[in-house]
Structure 1
Amino acid sequence: MSATTEEPVAVILAGGQGSRLWPISRDRRPKQFQPVVGGRPLLTGTIERLSEIVDPARIHVSTRARFADAARETLGPVPPENLILEEDPAGPATAFALSIATLARRYGNAPALIAPSDHLITEDEAFNQASRDMLTQLDDSPESMVVLGAKPTGFDGSLGYIHTQGEGGPVEVITSFYEKPDPATIDELGDQGSLYWNTACYGVRVAKACDAYRAAMPLVFDTIEQFAADRPDVNGYRGAAIGGHELYPLLAAGMECLVVPRHLGWNDIGTWKRLQHVLVEQGLHSIGPAVQLECDDMLVASMDGRPIVTLGTSGLVVVTHDDAVYVLDKQGAMGAGPLEHLRALLASEREDLL
């Protein structure tokens, strides 16, 4: 372990499959490694943003071993040895635990920012200031977990929500978390306090977080800590998994959770619907070079730089990669059933196209 310092560290969680955005998000190169919006991979944008706050040498990226090559291509100033790998997808709580164990091993009880790799931030300075405020809060209350909450611009039942008593101020105490609640629950909670979208951007003292995980699930976390004592960038973790939300072990151990609520340009572009909303907000109708004439309700994505030309078409998703061109009915692409049926067909006949 290196000497404990007050300098911040960071870990970016980049192990998701992004299957709801297939075929933009591919099995070997999910959306976080793709230039979905803005002409640069989402992971690259996250690294550049965090580099304004944290020394890139102290930024780590958690991902699956099968994505290691794609991750290395997008690390920029982050050292390749700062990869934290898992062999099998074991869920966000396992990735979180593996990350904090690795950071604690290397940096002691340093303050850490933990962020998803695949979210779109359109107001970098507001986001960075909120991140700095989260680190400041960790100075004031080092025993706590701090969450960045985005003030909702509307109801979205596919997102996670944070509920507080609505005391106001720059920091509020979180009373509960709700994953994908229904509108009636949102209305009821809104009458009883304040609600924020959970951006899954966290601030925590890593040794304190390890203490909480160790108290909540000692046997599993012991296995994870043993792995972190070796070189996580060389071999992927293959061991006991932790189910559920990544913050539940912290809550079970009695750690206070705070929220820094902000108005900021934040989007979790995990679905076609949200991606289309983001593109429309930016006045765009395509990703990459495209020409559309007499077209309606089209979503076009050139992931390999080839121009896409559409004439007189409507209600389609068109995606190009180096190895294939995909044309999907938009309603089918946004519905889990038809999309999963197509993926199952390709898995049996052309797995290389997944």
Structure 2
Amino acid sequence: MSITPVILCGGSGTRLWPLSRQSFPKQFVPLVGNQSLLQLTLARLAWCGNPPVCVASEDHRFLVADAMESQNSAGQVLLEPAARNTAAAMALAALLAASPADADPLLLFCPSDHHIPDVEAFAHTVRQGVAAAEAGAIVTFGVVPSFPSTAYGYIEQGDARTDGSRRVARFIEKPAPAAAQALLLQGNVLWNAGIFLVRASTLLTALGQHANDILQSCRQAMAAPKQDTVGQIHFVRPEAAPFLACRSQSIDYAVMERHADVAVVPFQGQWSDVGSWNAVADLSPADDDGNRITGQGHTLHASNTFIHAPGRTVVALGTKDLLIIDTPDALLVAQRDHAEQVKDVVAHLSRLKVPEAALHRRVARPWGWYDSVDVGERFQVKRIGVKPGASLSLQKHHHRAEHWIVVKGTAEVTRGAETYLLSENQSTYIPIGEVHRLHNPGKLPLEMIEVQSGSYLGEDDIVRLEDKYGRQPDAAKP
């Protein structure tokens, strides 16, 4: 059996703010055993037999690549020019998989942000859907519900099929509490997990029948995609103009609710879409008072309180039914029964143009990361981490000078015509207008402190002259 896993890496995860933000969504955040949900998804799908295809945005290109490299996973990354929901994302992946023309693999579409700890049970469930998918059905996998959730859609199971699956009688929108309770008592419903197994040709035919405009936009976008390779990762960029003209719709609305041949296989193992802080809390063990803690949290005379405090000491005294999420630049304190409304907080902060609504203090880059530690009039201090073998672009600045102090590892510095090495506790100075580059020649991560000074310190004061990651010269990112 050979299955090609397709991992859908879109979504902003606003219900997990402030840890998950537009610039660093929840699928990339270490949440379970210091691993991200995307890393766990890649590991969970290793049994499929083929390299994965990840569908992601250009902004998250190297976050996906980092996750794949951490799992030693070669594969392809389809970079959407813009978010257009799951119908278009799946169409792009099916078109890529169907090239060359004689290829027609089984595609297993999985969200990147689900937690399914029992890999063997999941693999066994997927294998139960292979016969139906090979016979031309679109197979979806529903989770046996454990409580009357109002956060998930439902699938009502129909008659048994000869291939061992069940027909889908209907898809049900997220219900009100009373309706969810009635569905659970009905006994033949499953949570809709958004996981699908289907032949590439079957999906393309179904899209042509029910959402032909989406399919045609994606066909035009994939007619001559740009491609490049970094390490083991092959990046595929569809043409932007036709894809931007594509309408945005979920695969459920575009195809599943309208297609005649949809089968379902129940999954009985543990599953979570990690869609709220309550769901994250449930991933940690509770003490005798129902408190759950990750990081440096402490409770006293508290009950049913969740603390996420990876960076500093956080104490909850006499609290009950609270969520406390601490990050370096934002703090969320919420009643547990308001967990689903965290997305409204993000919308509120966005309307007020609060940058922390979307941006983290720590910013991922293809070469590593930087963390803005302090900023004031005419100065800024950053911590910078550079991966082994990685380099920042060759660049210069019109308005700022930089002081670099190495605190871990070895730095190779290009400054004008000279190139030299710095080790721990050594420093250098980059004057305004000087061409420079920072490179990590070692096998260990490089960390340094950068002190910027000048009349303007914006990220757009960068003249990029050369870059190993395929980014355009003069782009406004280091």
Q: Which deviates further from its counterpart, 25-34 or 222-231?
A: 222-231
Asked whether the 8 Å contact 2:297–2:314 carries over to 1, the reply is yes
Secondary structure of residue in 1 paired with 2:96: helix
Q: 1:79 aligns with which of 70, 74, 77?
A: 74
Secondary structure of residue in 2 paired with 1:335: helix
The separation in 2 between residues aligned to 1:134 and 1:281, in whole angstroms, is: 36
Asked whether the 8 Å contact 2:14–2:343 carries over to 1, the reply is no
Q: CA deviation at 1:309?
A: 3.6
Amino acid aligned to 1:38: G
Give the aligned partner of residue 3 of structure 1. Answer: none
1:312 correspondence with 2:306: no
Asked whether the 8 Å contact 1:130–1:260 carries over to 2, the reply is yes
Amino acid aligned to 1:301: H
- Cα pair distance change 1:168/1:192, threshold 3 Å: farther
The separation in 1 between residues aligned to 2:237 and 2:208, in whole angstroms, is: 23
1:161 correspondence with 2:166: no
Q: 2:302 aligns with which of 289, 292, 295?
A: 295
Asked whether the 8 Å contact 2:129–2:165 carries over to 1, the reply is no
The separation in 1 between residues aligned to 2:344 and 2:185, in whole angstroms, is: 38
Q: CA deviation at 1:301?
A: 2.0
1:119 correspondence with 2:114: yes
- Cα pair distance change 1:330/1:348, threshold 3 Å: same
Q: CA deviation at 1:324?
A: 2.1
Q: CA deviation at 1:77?
A: 2.8
Q: CA deviation at 1:44?
A: 0.4
The aligned runs of 1:11-90 (5 Å cut-off) are 11-55=6-50, 58-75=51-68, 76-79=71-74, 82-90=76-84
Asked whether the 8 Å contact 1:66–1:87 carries over to 2, the reply is no
Q: 2:92 aligns with which of 83, 95, 98?
A: 98
The separation in 1 between residues aligned to 2:168 and 2:344, in whole angstroms, is: 39
Secondary structure of residue in 2 paired with 1:77: coil
- Cα pair distance change 1:228/1:255, threshold 3 Å: farther
The separation in 2 between residues aligned to 1:293 and 1:188, in whole angstroms, is: 40
RMSD of the alignment, in Å? 3.0
1:256 correspondence with 2:261: yes
- What TM-score, normalized by structure 2, do the two folds share? 0.64
Q: CA deviation at 1:154?
A: 1.0
The separation in 1 between residues aligned to 2:331 and 2:262, in whole angstroms, is: 44
The separation in 2 between residues aligned to 1:85 and 1:22, in whole angstroms, is: 24
- Cα pair distance change 1:119/1:12, threshold 3 Å: same
Give the aligned partner of residue 237 of structure 2. Answer: 235
Provide, for residues 200-250 of structure 1, a one-character-per-residue CA deviation record: whole Å limited to 9, x for no partner.
111000111111112223333122022223247343654233444303443
Give the aligned partner of residue 147 of structure 1. Answer: 140
Asked whether the 8 Å contact 1:7–1:111 carries over to 2, the reply is yes
Q: CA deviation at 1:254?
A: 3.7
Provide, for residues 269-318 of structure 1, a one-character-per-residue CA deviation record: whole Å limited to 9, x for no partner.
1112332334357987123344434433332224xx53534152525544
- Structure 1: gaps of 5 or more residues: 1-5
Looking at both structures, which has the greater relative contact order when contacts are Cα pairs under 8 Å and sequence separation is at least 6? 1
Give the aligned partner of residue 194 of structure 1. Answer: 188
Secondary structure of residue in 2 paired with 1:52: helix
Asked whether the 8 Å contact 1:11–1:112 carries over to 2, the reply is yes
- Cα pair distance change 1:46/1:338, threshold 3 Å: closer
1:222 correspondence with 2:216: yes
Provide, for residues 251-281 of structure 1, a one-character-per-residue CA deviation record: whole Å limited to 9, x for no partner.
4774411111131101111112332334357
- Cα pair distance change 1:273/1:309, threshold 3 Å: closer
Q: 1:285 aligns with which of 286, 292, 297?
A: 292
- What TM-score, normalized by structure 1, do the two folds share? 0.84
The separation in 2 between residues aligned to 1:150 and 1:349, in whole angstroms, is: 37
Amino acid aligned to 1:199: A
The separation in 2 between residues aligned to 1:11 and 1:330, in whole angstroms, is: 36
- Cα pair distance change 1:319/1:251, threshold 3 Å: closer
Secondary structure of residue in 2 paired with 1:329: strand
**Identical aligned residues as a percent:** 23
Provide, for residues 1-56 of structure 1, a one-character-per-residue CA deviation record: whole Å limited to 9, x for no partner.
xxxxx73211001111101111121221111001222321000000001002233x
- Cα pair distance change 1:186/1:226, threshold 3 Å: same
Q: Which deviates further from its counterpart, 60-69 or 213-222?
A: 213-222
The separation in 2 between residues aligned to 1:16 and 1:249, in whole angstroms, is: 18
The separation in 1 between residues aligned to 2:104 and 2:317, in whole angstroms, is: 59
Q: Which deviates further from its counterpart, 310-319 or 10-19?
A: 310-319
Larger Cα Rg: Structure 1 or Structure 2?
2
Asked whether the 8 Å contact 1:216–1:252 carries over to 2, the reply is no
The aligned runs of 1:197-216 (5 Å cut-off) are 197-216=191-210
Secondary structure of residue in 2 paired with 1:120: coil
Structure having the higher strand fraction is: 2
Amino acid aligned to 2:275: G
